[in-house]
Amino acid sequence: MSTPKVIDFRCRPPITAQKLLFDIKLGRLKWKNKFVCKPAMATSPSMYKVGEQEGLDLLFREMDEAGVDIIVVPGRNLANPPKAVLQLSGTDKINVTDEMMIDLGRRFDNRAIGLHGIDAERSAQEAVAAIETALGEHGMAGAVLEIGYSIGADGQPLKANDSRLYPIYETMVKHDKLLMYMSGIYAGHDIGANDWPPLDRVMQDFPDLKLVLAHGGYPRVLDAVALAVKHPNFYLSPDIYCFFPGGKLYVEAIGMLPDQFIFASAYPFGPLKESVELSLQFPLSNEVKEKYMYGNAARLLAL
């Protein structure tokens, strides 16, 4: 079988608003304790040119070198960015707007598809209005919800099944568009943000919601996989965490749930070339690899 087509479902180009991610990525390389994980420790030239046109040109070239046909760029639109994020980034320019992604689409010859970033702390009415504009006027392919740093009306960390988020879910179902939900070790103030029973309740209330769990729910791997078993519209995109401790559970599950796993590099956390090459080495059939690397994502994006 020839190399399958590839959609990278989570790729953050080297623009100024994404500087925080590149600081985390490159900073880790200097840690005294070594992390033996090839994608996490590998780099590419574009990672060193954040905020420069050259960085985007290099990433575009790296797409071709890795055989990546399309990248999906998640947005971020926080009216009140959490202090923890601002302290890490050293800047208040962390939002990735619809307009930025439209511009990236042009620069990448329509090979970059944007997802609208939802501000979970806005009123439901404001959030829904912004989603309607993003999907209707701006042509976004879906939306991203990251609530790990958000506070609910009760003053406690926001949970996925908070009632004020339900109009957002209703809107995504109405438009039949995908919702990317943030998880992972940087998804909140601590890894307790990866608490999946509330998301289980959301999927029970909205069985038609097409939800993609970015970073695959790591480190609560088994719980996340169990939700995919339970809910046919629940997708996992474990990206670089396939290569982290415990990540072999994802690889095993891909073969058992071939229609519900989606490839991503999580660039800059993983370079495109290494991420694609290592993923193609998974012990999966050619048919399952095609679905994982391209087919499932293409279906969700209505390509």
pLDDT for position 62: 98
**Span 214-240, pLDDT tens digits:** 999 999 999 999 999 999 999 999 999
pLDDT for position 92: 59
pLDDT for position 157: 81
Which amino acid type is present at position 106?
R
Contacts of 238 by beta carbon, 8 Å cutoff, 6+ apart: 215, 216, 217, 218, 221, 247, 250, 261
- Name the H helices within 187-268: 197-205, 221-230, 248-256
pLDDT for position 82: 57
Residues comprising the chain, all counted: 303
Given this structure, which CATH class describes domain 7-300? alpha beta
DSSP state of 51: T
Long-range contacts of residues 197-204, Cβ cutoff 8 Å, at least 24 apart: 198/159, 198/160, 198/161, 199/160, 199/161, 199/227, 200/227, 200/230, 200/231, 201/160, 201/161, 202/160, 202/161, 202/165, 202/169, 203/227, 203/230, 203/231, 203/233, 203/234, 204/231
**Span 246-269, pLDDT tens digits:** 999 999 999 999 999 999 999 999
Q: For residues 88 and 239, give the distance between their C-alpha atoms in angstroms, rounded to a whole number.
A: 23
Identify the segments of the chain with pLDDT beneath 50: none
| Domain locations along the chain | 7-300
Give the angle 111-91-59 at the CA atoms, nearest 5°: 25
pTM of the model: 0.94
